[in-house]
Structure 1
Amino acid sequence: MSQSANKAAKTQTNEWWDTIVVVVEALLIAIVLRSFLFQPFSIPTASMQPTLMIGDYFVANKFVWGYGKHSFSLGRYGDFTLLDFELPINNRILGRDPDRGDIAVFRPVPQNIEYIKRVVGMPGDRIQMKQGRLYINGVMVEREEIGKAIDTDSEGDSREVTVYRETFPDGSVHTIHEISDNGPLDNTPEYVVPAGHFFMMGDNRDRSADSRVLSSVGYVPAINLIAKAEARFFSIKDNIPPWQVWQWPANVRWDRMFQSVYQ
């Protein structure tokens, strides 16, 4: 092989090697960001509608509440889990407690998948539903009817719902859907939130399995919190995969993109 050909081969090898290094560095940076700082999630069910709709994609802050047992799960893709393990710790590391009204990604004790709900009860609170109305420490939470809507779940079942603006005692405001005020979870016993735990509820009150169902969700230990939902960055109808770009013109919800989930 001539000297010039040998030099060209070495140059090509170096270029390939540099490309591989750049790709590996980018992947490592992405993994670090996803593990420690921010992680994207998607919404497959109707339990948080209208705040988070089926097909919404949002980014969640992983460091604001510190790190717990499940903080370094990198998520699932169908039946494949990229990374999922429990940290051998008994308390959260760094961070602060969530506030009432925050939207939390967490792992219920009896489950091995992530849930997303709103923080309704703080440690020591008494929570109860009576005829569809939420009571916190014996005081009925204020709600104001703002209209009607059609709510469709992940099975395609559409129901007319009443839309309410609900205001927590600290003044934080959010919107909820109610099919009726006499559903299975609209009249409950009084729940007393244990120390170091939180009580979670979906904004779609009659279509949410949440802390009201003690056998499947129940009280959520602080150590099982994963991240605080922050902002939607993409939204598409009917859980259509985002890579199907040819479906975007008719199905992307452009008005829901790049917005805080607290608006």
Structure 2
Amino acid sequence: MPFALILILLLLLTGSIWLLDRFMLRAKRPAGVNEPWWVEYAKSFFPVILAVFLLRSFLIEPFKIPSGSMIPTLHVGDFILVNRYTYGLRLPIVNKKFVEINQPQRGDVMVFHYPEDPSVDYIKRVIGVPGDVLVYRNKRLWINGTEQVLQRDGDYNYVESELRFLHTERYKENLDGHSHAVLLNPEMPQVHLANVANFPQHEQCSYTEEEVRCTVPPASYFMMGDNRDNSRDSRYWGFVPDEMIVGKAFFIWMNFGELDRVGLSIK
């Protein structure tokens, strides 16, 4: 059960008990008689649950990085904060936007509901916005006919969860003026064609061994992991509709295994 739904149920339960006591039970209770324990607990927890619900639903939500698809920007075990309002205010559970604020921009690190299983949250970088024509060829990225600058920045080695040592090449990518690091593994293909799903609006993309070409549909976004050859992203499962957006990642507040990462901003 989604945590937001649990919060709503607890909020309704404790709020109903508080209202029931406020307008009915209190008047019938003899003077000097203490409140029932369940009324006392409900009245104590109601404001706390309400504050947590409002904070997580409309302002800031915590998120833990579960995989290495965003290395080197984000590491496994990073606890991050996600800005819930920067892309507009949305109703909890249904995720329906009711206040428009900003639109996702190329280069943003965004959390969203995984299109193949909306109960799971994913985090990737926004590569394409509505109307963009994207080409990923020879591990180089073109957006609307312009090649995005990619500069070698040394090597990067890391260990996967299975204790498998991986050697990759680190690059700086300039995505529409937004500079960030990406990893490329020269031993891996740019896409595993056998793993490409039959996703909605699949006809917007074409695949060959040499390139992936996609036109981003309206109100949708094309996402990729910074660990390009170890990321299952829009190349495989398609576009992220606007209604699946959660928010923009902006801050690392804890990593128990790498304390030097605490306090880093996410770029």
Cα displacement string for residues 204-254 of structure 1 (whole angstroms, at most 9, x for unaligned residues): 0000011111xxx31111121111101000013xxxxxxxxxxxxxxx312
The SS at the match of 1:212 is helix
The SS at the match of 2:229 is helix
Partner of 1:258: 263
The SS at the match of 2:135 is strand
Mapped to 2, the partners of 1:211 and 1:15 lie a distance apart of: 52
State whether structure 2 residue 36 is matched by structure 1 residue 29. Answer: no
Displacement of 1:46: 0.6
The SS at the match of 1:175 is strand
- Look up the equivalent residue of 2:225 and give its one-letter code: G
Contact 1:67–1:226 (CA under 8 A) maintained in structure 2:
no
The CA RMSD measured in Å over matched residues stands at 2.5
Mapped to 1, the partners of 2:133 and 2:215 lie a distance apart of: 5
Identity rate, percent: 32
Mapped to 2, the partners of 1:166 and 1:141 lie a distance apart of: 7
Q: Can you give the 5+ residue segments of structure 1 that lack an aligned partner in the other structure?
A: 1-9, 73-84, 237-251
Displacement of 1:181: 7.1
| Equivalent residue runs for 1:1-40 within 5 Å | 21-40=43-62
TM norm structure 2: 0.74
Partner of 1:194: 217
Partner of 1:96: 102
Contact 2:212–2:235 (CA under 8 A) maintained in structure 1:
no
Cα displacement string for residues 33-58 of structure 1 (whole angstroms, at most 9, x for unaligned residues): 01111100001101000101100010
Mapped to 2, the partners of 1:184 and 1:156 lie a distance apart of: 24
| Equivalent residue runs for 1:83-162 within 5 Å | 85-87=93-95, 89=96, 93-112=99-118, 113-162=120-169
Partner of 2:70: 48
Mapped to 2, the partners of 1:26 and 1:175 lie a distance apart of: 40
Mapped to 1, the partners of 2:44 and 2:183 lie a distance apart of: 48
Mapped to 1, the partners of 2:160 and 2:113 lie a distance apart of: 22
**Cα–Cα, structure 1 residues 92 and 52, in superposed 2: closer, same or farther, change >3 Å?**
farther
The SS at the match of 2:114 is coil
The SS at the match of 2:233 is coil
Number of aligned residue pairs: give it.
Answer: 218
Q: Can you give the 5+ residue segments of structure 2 that lack an aligned partner in the other structure?
A: 1-31, 192-208
Contact 2:111–2:246 (CA under 8 A) maintained in structure 1:
yes
Contact 1:50–1:175 (CA under 8 A) maintained in structure 2:
yes
Partner of 2:189: 183
Partner of 2:26: none
Partner of 2:232: 209
Displacement of 1:187: 3.9
Mapped to 2, the partners of 1:135 and 1:92 lie a distance apart of: 34
Mapped to 1, the partners of 2:37 and 2:188 lie a distance apart of: 67
TM norm structure 1: 0.75
- Look up the equivalent residue of 1:195 and give its one-letter code: P
- Look up the equivalent residue of 1:223 and give its one-letter code: E
- Look up the equivalent residue of 1:179 and give its one-letter code: N
Contact 1:109–1:220 (CA under 8 A) maintained in structure 2:
yes
Partner of 1:77: none
Mapped to 2, the partners of 1:67 and 1:180 lie a distance apart of: 42
Displacement of 1:147: 1.1
Mapped to 2, the partners of 1:121 and 1:20 lie a distance apart of: 47
Displacement of 1:16: 11
Cα displacement string for residues 181-213 of structure 1 (whole angstroms, at most 9, x for unaligned residues): 751428433101011111100000000011111
- Look up the equivalent residue of 1:261 and give its one-letter code: I
Mapped to 1, the partners of 2:74 and 2:151 lie a distance apart of: 20
Contact 1:234–1:256 (CA under 8 A) maintained in structure 2:
yes
Mapped to 1, the partners of 2:94 and 2:39 lie a distance apart of: 35
Q: Is 126-135 or 50-59 further displaced after alignment?
A: 126-135
**Cα–Cα, structure 1 residues 141 and 33, in superposed 2: closer, same or farther, change >3 Å?**
same
